[in-house]
Amino acid sequence: MVFSVRARTSLITCLHSLLRTSCSAAFRPLSSRMAWQSPSIMRVLIRQRHIRVGRQLVNIPSFMVKLDSEKHIDFSLTSPLGGGEPGRVKRKNQKKASGGGGDDEEEE
């Protein structure tokens, strides 16, 4: 299947256009949910595998996205930003705040 150049765009370009048009009513919920602040932050999120297109995890900022797939851009299911398990540091801090892990010897 052959797509025209206009029918495909890179993921970073697609996300950047969503960022620029985030003032419109259609993209306001998406941009607030995704918390994009700049193209460089979007690039980092893509590189760290927090973004998926459909079911496919994306880690290349120049990933080509079809125009009809733009609505399927979302956070990864395993990402802490998408409702997954918290990261290593957050789990460590939660464990410390809850009273430790029981590894310490009891003091008398």
pLDDT tens track for 10-22 = 777 776 666 555 3
Q: What residue type is 92 in one-letter code?
A: K
Angle at 82 between CA 31 and CA 42, to 5 degrees: 45
Radius of gyration of the chain (CA): 19
E strands of 1-108, at which residues?
8-10, 51-53, 56-58, 64-66, 73-75
Q: Where are the domains of the chain?
A: 8-97
pTM: 0.56
pLDDT digits (tens, 9 = 90+) for 78-108: 888 888 889 999 999 999 999 866 555 555 4
